[in-house]
Amino acid sequence: MGEQFCSKPTIKNCGDDEGFEMGLPVREKLKHSIRSTDTLDLVSQADSGVMHTPPPQGYDAEFDPPLEKKYECPICLMALRTAVQTPCGHRFCRGCIERSIREAGSKCPIDNEVLTLDQLFSDNFANREILSLTVACCNSECHQKMELRYIESHLVQCQFSTEPCPLCQAALLKNQLDEHTAQHCPRRSVPCPACMEMYIWDEKQLHEGLCPFASVICEFCSGELIRDHVITCTFSSFGCEEKMSRSSLAQHMQEFTHLHLSSMAAFLKRQNLFGEPSMGAAARSSAVTSEMDTSLKSSVDHLELQQMRETVQQLDGRLVRQVHLLRELSIQVHSQATQLQDLHKHTAALEDAVQGLKAVPCNGAFTWRVKGFQEHLENHRANRPVVLYSPGFYTGRPGYRLCLRLQLQPPTAPHNPSFLSLFVHTMRGAFDNQVAWPLQGKLKLTILDPMEGLHMTEVMETKPDLLAFQRPTAERNQKGFGYVTFVHLSKLSKRYMEDDILQVHCEATLKL
């Protein structure tokens, strides 16, 4: 009772890439056939002429299974990139054949038939097929496989790809680069434990030879001293050639006072003998006394300076210890931040598991309440993309895990503008090892009318040979199955959006 079917012709055996409508010409069949969004995007780019400039040759990738000859470019012997066909029936990469025509002349490289650039036409079918082929990552330690269309984005993020070290230019795996630059790179900057200045690790010996706070061995007592603390005697200008540490200066001055005075007197005597003005005995005695006072005062000043420098040294030592402590605390904070990230990831995984358990009781009959639908309509009118996915649900216990995709085709789309599209996607589930693949049965999609019960319903049969019904290799199968033109938005009146909520219902009757 009360079911209202969409006013478009009945669709039989609808699917991703094939389908037909009764009584329509071939062009209309192609226009209204139900295909996946990936296929629509490729056809839209080809029809609109907005194609990226192709590289000069084909895809050099490891295909699994191996690449068929029909998809191999006869010029570069690699997989066709942006495939084109010639009037004589041969396929080439667009970049390869255009270069061949420019360099070798206007002829086909295979049969020498006359061929010009304007005779080439895009082979969209071959492009779709090639981009859907499975390839392996070219990095030896990476074992991931994916469709060819995703390989370039994967290589950008692959942790087993190599990158040069920005400091020493050594080639390293991307997942080892941070550790290398922080701990092993010979050109990394490290702090000197003595003076705390940064230097290049490779230049360690050079820095140690110049560091003012480096430890050196005293040539007199073989004791370990700081380089700047080895000094000469205060009376070196009077002939004392002794060298000692600053802490030993006072003791040296006391032990060698008589020697210092004798050396100073001899120095003054020499000054008189070699042309200095003659002085009386009293004057000479006064001069010697004055020199001694000056020397003793200088000794006292040196002792005070020594104490000040020792205080500075102690403060420097405390500063170094504080820096090391701060470094250890920084490492602990970084470790705790990493543990916190791991906890967030674990929490997210538990939340996903809870959502999966909540989906089990649906038993194949699932109602998706799309809230705030008016806002999605406004985004559609502004030509912004609207693609929504429902939570996952199970067809039974055990059963398949599915989800719904609702898409509003933009008003400027070259095909089927302003239509509401509905698709079903398979998802990884807890019972994938207990059910038979591919998925087989019937799927019933309905937009509910909560006010008058005039529902919009379509029923479709699954197609086991399509990728959409194979066991998913990712969390959600990239290929969906459903209706590109489920209903035109002009027919979606307000009674279907009570309280700004659109209700989409799915029932699955499947063979396990």
- Number of H-type helices and E-type strands within the chain: 11, 26
Instruction: Return the pLDDT at 48.
Output: 43
Q: What is the pLDDT of residues 141-189, one digit of tens each?
A: 888 899 999 988 888 888 888 888 888 888 888 777 888 888 889 888 8
Alpha-carbon distance of 505 to 502, in angstroms, equals 10
Q: What is the pLDDT of residues 310-320, one digit of tens each?
A: 777 777 777 77
What stretches of 28-148 adopt beta strand conformation (E)? 62-63, 83-85, 91-93, 121-122, 134-136, 145-147
305, pLDDT greater than 50? yes
CATH of 3-38+363-511, one of 3.30.1490.20, 2.60.210.10, 2.30.42.10, 3.30.420.40: 2.60.210.10
Q: What is the pLDDT of residues 352-364, one digit of tens each?
A: 667 656 554 567 7
Strands 243-245, 230-232: pairing kind: antiparallel
Average pLDDT on 78-85 reads 93
Confidence of residue 398 (pLDDT cuts 50, 70, 90): confident
Q: Which residues of 184-207 are buried (b: 16+ CB within 10 A; e: fewer)?
A: ebeebeeebebeeeebeeeeeeeb
382, pLDDT greater than 50? yes
**Whole-prediction pTM:** 0.35
Q: What is the pLDDT of residues 20-66, one digit of tens each?
A: 233 333 223 323 332 333 333 333 343 444 444 445 689 988 898 89
Task: Looking at 147-211, list the stretches that DSSP marks H as alpha helix, in order from N- to C-terminal side.
Answer: 151-157, 177-179, 204-210
Alpha-carbon distance of 74 to 128, in angstroms, equals 19
Instruction: Return the pLDDT at 493.
Output: 86
Average pLDDT on 398-417 reads 89
The architecture CATH gives domain 62-157: 2-Layer Sandwich (3.30)
Instruction: Return the pLDDT at 293.
Output: 57
Sequence ranges of the domains in the chain? 3-38+363-511, 62-157
Q: What is the pLDDT of residues 434-466, one digit of tens each?
A: 999 999 999 999 999 998 888 999 999 999 899
- For the chain, percent of residues with pLDDT exceeding 70: 76
Instruction: Return the pLDDT at 355.
Output: 63
DSSP 227-256: GGGEEE-GGGGGT---EEEGGGHHHHHHHT
Instruction: Return the pLDDT at 231.
Output: 67
Looking at the DSSP assignment, which residues form a beta bridge with residue 177? none
Q: What is the pLDDT of residues 100-130, one digit of tens each?
A: 999 989 999 999 999 999 999 999 999 999 9
Instruction: Return the pLDDT at 54.
Output: 45
Confidence of residue 365 (pLDDT cuts 50, 70, 90): confident
Instruction: Return the pLDDT at 175.
Output: 76
Instruction: Return the pLDDT at 496.
Output: 92
Q: How far is CA 345 from CA 83, 160, 352, in A?
A: 42, 22, 11
